[in-house]
Structure 1
Amino acid sequence: MVSISFPFLVCFFSFHLHAIAQPRNSNISLGSSLTPTGTSAWLSPSGLYGFGFYSQGNGYGVGVFLAAVPQRTVVWTANRDDSPVPSTSSLVLTTDGRLILRSPQGQDESIVPDSSQKIEAAAMRDTGNFVLFNSDHDIIWESFKYPTTTILPGQVLSAGKELFSSVSETDQSRGIFRLKMQTDGNLVQYPVDTPDTAPYSYYASGTDGRGDNVTLNLDDDGHLYLLNSTGSNIKDLTPGGHETNRTLYLMKIDPDGILRLYSYGLNQNGNRSIIWSPTNNKCVPKGLCGLNGYCVNQDEDVDCICLPGFAPVMEGNFTAGCERNFSSESCKNDNGRIRYIIQAAVNTVWENTGYSELSVRSREECEAACSQDCNCDAAMFKDGKCNKQKLPLRYGRRNLDDSNVALIKVGISSSSDESRKHGDVPKDPQRDILIIGLSLIGFAIIVLVISGALMLKVLALKF
C-alpha cells in the first residue's frame, strides 16, 4: 500500500478537519460518536481516509472521503439520496451494536443495511474500506462491497454491480449515469432508468462472452483491468506502472457521465490529474442535455442547445431538458392561431424512435411529408431517408461528421391573429401605399377645383 508519513498528515489535518485519528490497527469502539462541528470523522491509521461528515448543500452528508488532500474527495456515500442533515445531527456507534445517524429530534436512521448480527466494532482502513465487525472479529459489512461512484485500489466491482454518478461534485445524490459490470462479462455505461441493451449504451469494454463472473479491478499503480472467474486478465483498460510514492489512484464515474482514472498527489497541494478516460468527447454520454436538447462541444466545455421552438425547462440545469415555447394545437384546426413551419438542427444525432421511414429525393420533400402529417413532430433526414418522429427527442448531440438533419415542426402565431388579439388592424404595406397615393390624388383634385372656382370668380368681376 502507499507509504504515508503519519506525523506529516496529522499536522496537515489540523487545518482541514476536526477529527480524531485512530491508533494503527485499532478499532472504533461501541459508544463512539461524531458531530459535523466537533469531532467530524474517524480517520484511517495513516490519516489517508476519513469516515464521517462532509459538507453538502446547506447541511452535511455521511461517507468515506480522501482526507489527505485539501479538497475532501468523497469516495463512498451513505444513504446518498437523503436530504443533507443539519449541523446538530450526530453519528453514533451505539452500545447495543448499531451504526445510526441521529437527528436533533432524536430519530435514528441506519447508516448500513440492517444486519442480523450485532456490531461489536468498526474500523476505517487505509485502503479506504470502512468495515464493521461482529464479536468474533469477522467482517459483517464493508463499504467496498457497496460502491457508489468510485473504485479504489484493491476494490472490485463484481458482476452485476453498478456505479452511479453523483448530481455534481458538491452533491453526492444519485445522478443520471451508471456503469455496470454485466454478468455477460461486458463493462458498459448507460443513462439511468434504461434497459441493459446496446441502443442505450455509450461505452462498452467489448468483453461480453469472455468469461463468467468478470470483475473490474484497480491496482495501486493505476492498473485498471478486467478479470474472469479463473483469475485470467481478459482486458487491460490502463497499462498501470505509474508512480506509487505518495500518489493515490482512483477511478470514478463523474457527474458528466464519463469514466476517469485520477491520480492524487499526497502533498500539501493535493494535485489531481486525469490518467485515463475512454473518451475526450464530453458529448458522448447519452442524456447529458435532457429531453429535446442537444449537446455541443465548445473547446474544453460543453453547451446544451434547445431544439428550434423550445426553451430550457430550468435555466442553468442542462439535464432538465427543454420544452415547447408555444402551445400545441391540432394541425387539423384551420381556425387555430398556430401555424407551423419547419426549422432545422443540422449535423445532430438522436435516439431513433421513428414511427415511419420514407424514401425521399430531397430535404424539402421530407419537410413537406412531416408538415402534412399531424402525428409528425420532427423528421430525421439523411441519405435520402426521411424518418418521422414524435416528441420528445432524446440523447441529442452535434456531430459534424454526421450529415443527419433534424427537421422540427415549430408553431408560430400568424400576424393577423396577433393583431386581432391586441385590437389592431393588420398592416399591409402595399395597401398602405395605395391609400396614401389615392389620398394625394384626391387632395390634388380638391386643390384644382378650388383654384378653378377662384379663377372663374376673378374673371367674372373683371367683366
Structure 2
Amino acid sequence: MVEKIPQDKTENFPSRSYCFVPDCFLHWFAVHQQYCHEYHPTWPFLNTSETLVSTNGIFELGFFTPGNSTKYYLGVRFKKVSEQNVVWVANREYPFPNSSPALALNSEGNLVISDGRMTYMVANTSAGNGAYAMLLDTGNLIVTDKVLEVFWQSFDYPTDTIFPGMMLELDFVATSWKSTEDPAPGLFSLQLSSSDQLTLMEGSKVYWSSSIYTFGVLSHSNWYGYGITWPMNYTPEISKMVLDVYGQLKLQSWSEDDQRWHSLQSSRCGDYALCGAFSICNETAEVPCGCLTGFRPVSADSWSKGNSSSGCVRETDLQCTKNNDVQNDGFLHMSKVDWPDNPRYLDFGSANECQSACLNNCSCTAYAYYYKRRDLKPPCLLWDGSLLNLKQLSADDIYGMDFNLKLATSDLVNQGKKI
C-alpha cells in the first residue's frame, strides 16, 4: 500500500551492522502479507508525496527534508513520532536539491533514486526483474525475490540509530549526523569490539567506551557466530539508541503521554545517581558532575578523585526548615534540563499556585510547571527531599525543560536573582 500524504508533511518527514533474516522468517512474512508491504519494480513507485508504511504502523519509508533544509533525503522513520523520528537515511551524503526524486527498482533489480538529472543507487543487487522491496515490521528495508533470498537490507548500513531487531557484528559502525539538519556522516562514530565493548570515537580519538550491557538492551546472539542483538521483546514499543551530533549515545523511549522522547540512559550521564543527590550531570561538559548552585560536595576528597556518588549538601539551610519562615526562601530558575526522578503531580491552574505550594511545604525542594502537557497528568510538578538524576542539556536541545530549585534567600542574593 502506498499512502498519500500532504506536501507539508513530506517536507517535515521532519562500517556496518548485520541483522540476519533467515528464509523461514521471510517466508512467514511473504505468506502473511498483513505483516509487511511489498513492491514490484515499477517506475516510479515512491515519490516525495508518498510513503511506504509497515503493517504494524510503526515504521514509514519516504522522502524528507530535515529541519529548515530544502534538500531531499530518503529515510525510514517512526511514523507516529512527531520529532527526531528518522532512524535510517539512504542517501545521507547525496541529497536531491528539489522535490522531484522518486525511488524505484530498475530492471536489473537495483534500488535507485532518480530525479531525471541525477541517479543514486541505494542497493546494487543485480537481482534481476523478479526482485521486489519490502519494509518489514522491524523497520528493515530489504530487496528480495520469489524464492525469498535477501539481496540487500538497510540494517547492513546503519546511520546513527540502533533499534530493536537489529544485529551488530564486529564490523559494525554507526556515525552521527553532521548537524541536526544534515544527515551526512559527522564527527562521532560508534564501533563494536570482540571484547563486548561499545566504543565512541571522535575522529580517530577514543571518546567513550563501555560494555554492551551498560544500556541493558543489547545481548549476545547465537545466530551464525558472533553477534550482538537488541531483542524485539524490549518493553517500550517505540525505542531507539541514537548517537547524536554532540557525540552522546542515548537510549530513548517515546512517550505518547507528553509526546516527547525520554532519555533512559546516556553515555555520559547514564548511570543511575551517578553524581549523587543535589547535583547536576552535564552531558556536554568535560567533567559531567557538578553540585547545584547553593550546594557543595559532601566529600570534597571523593569528588577530587572523580567519585561524585556521595552527592552534595546545602551551603545554607532553608529558612523554612530552620525557623519555619517560608518567606525567606525562594527559587533559582534553571532551563534546558531533564527533570529529576519521582515528582509529585498537583492540579493547579497557574505557575504561581504551583510555586506557592512548594514554598509553603518545607519538604519541597523544587517545582516545575509544564502547561503544555498533552497527557492527563496535572501540570504542577513538585519534588520532595533529595534530587537525583537532574541533567543539564545542551542550549539548543528542544526537549530541555524549565526547573525551579528552592534555595535560602542568602544564596539567591549571591546569585543576584530570586523568584
- TM-score, normalised to structure 1, is 0.47
Q: Which amino acid aligns with 2:254?
A: Y
Question: What number of residue pairs does the alignment pair up?
Answer: 254
Q: Deviations over 1:208-262 (max 9, x none)?
A: xxxxxxxx699xxx842342769999999x9x99754xx3111010111000001
Shift of 1:274: 0.6
Q: Which runs of 4+ in 1 moved over 3 A?
A: 10-19, 22-26, 228-236, 240-244, 283-286, 299-302
Native 8 Å contact 1:226 1:233 kept in 2? no
Shift of 1:110: 0.6
1:26-65 equivalences under 5 Å are 26-31=37-42, 33-36=45-48, 38-39=49-50, 41-56=51-66, 57-65=69-77
Q: Which amino acid aligns with 1:277?
A: S
Question: Structure 2: how far apart are the matches of 1:257 and 1:53?
Answer: 26
- Determine which structure has greater relative contact order: mean sequence separation of CA pairs < 8 Å that are 6+ residues apart, divided by chain length: 2
The equivalent of 1:133 in structure 2 is 144
Question: Residue 264 of structure 2 is aligned with which of 266, 271, 275?
Answer: 275
Native 8 Å contact 2:179 2:245 kept in 1? yes
Question: Structure 2: how far apart are the matches of 1:230 and 1:90?
Answer: 36
Question: Residue 224 of structure 1 is aligned with which of 203, 217, 225?
Answer: 217
Shift of 1:137: 1.7
The equivalent of 2:113 in structure 1 is 101
Question: 2:85 matched to 1:73?
Answer: yes
Shift of 1:71: 2.9
Question: What SS does the corresponding residue of 1:139 show, helix, strand or coil?
Answer: coil
Question: Residue 182 of structure 1 is aligned with which of 175, 193, 217?
Answer: 193
Structure 1 116/243 Cα, relative in aligned 2: closer, same or farther at 3 Å? closer
Question: Structure 1: how far apart are the matches of 2:246 and 2:103?
Answer: 31
Aligned-pair identity (%): 22
Shift of 1:47: 2.2
**Cα root mean square deviation, aligned:** 4.1
Structure 1 13/182 Cα, relative in aligned 2: closer, same or farther at 3 Å? farther
1:278-317 equivalences under 5 Å are 278-280=267-269, 281-283=282-284
Native 8 Å contact 1:156 1:217 kept in 2? no
Q: Which amino acid aligns with 2:283?
A: K
Question: Structure 2: how far apart are the matches of 1:80 and 1:27?
Answer: 24
Question: 2:127 matched to 1:117?
Answer: yes
Shift of 1:70: 2.2
Question: Residue 201 of structure 1 is aligned with which of 185, 206, 220?
Answer: 206
The equivalent of 2:322 in structure 1 is none
Structure 1 243/70 Cα, relative in aligned 2: closer, same or farther at 3 Å? same
Q: Which amino acid aligns with 2:116?
A: P
The equivalent of 1:152 in structure 2 is 163
Rg larger in structure: 1
Structure 1 165/301 Cα, relative in aligned 2: closer, same or farther at 3 Å? farther
Question: Structure 1: how far apart are the matches of 2:199 and 2:156?
Answer: 19
Question: Structure 2: how far apart are the matches of 1:64 and 1:226?
Answer: 24
1:354-365 equivalences under 5 Å are none
- TM-score, normalised to structure 2, is 0.52
Question: Structure 2: how far apart are the matches of 1:48 and 1:242?
Answer: 15
Structure 1 90/162 Cα, relative in aligned 2: closer, same or farther at 3 Å? same
The equivalent of 2:318 in structure 1 is none
The equivalent of 1:261 in structure 2 is 251
Shift of 1:17: 5.6
Question: Residue 92 of structure 1 is aligned with which of 80, 101, 104?
Answer: 104
Structure 1 77/241 Cα, relative in aligned 2: closer, same or farther at 3 Å? closer
Which range is displaced more, 85-94 or 57-66? 85-94
Please list every run of 5 or more consecutive structure 2 residues that lacks an aligned counterpart in the other structure. 14-32, 270-281, 288-333, 338-419
Structure 1 146/225 Cα, relative in aligned 2: closer, same or farther at 3 Å? same
Q: Which amino acid aligns with 2:93?
A: D
Please list every run of 5 or more consecutive structure 1 residues that lacks an aligned counterpart in the other structure. 1-9, 195-199, 207-215, 287-298, 303-463
Question: Structure 2: how far apart are the matches of 1:44 and 1:157?
Answer: 23
Question: What SS does the corresponding residue of 2:120 show, helix, strand or coil?
Answer: strand
Question: Structure 1: how far apart are the matches of 2:98 and 2:8?
Answer: 22
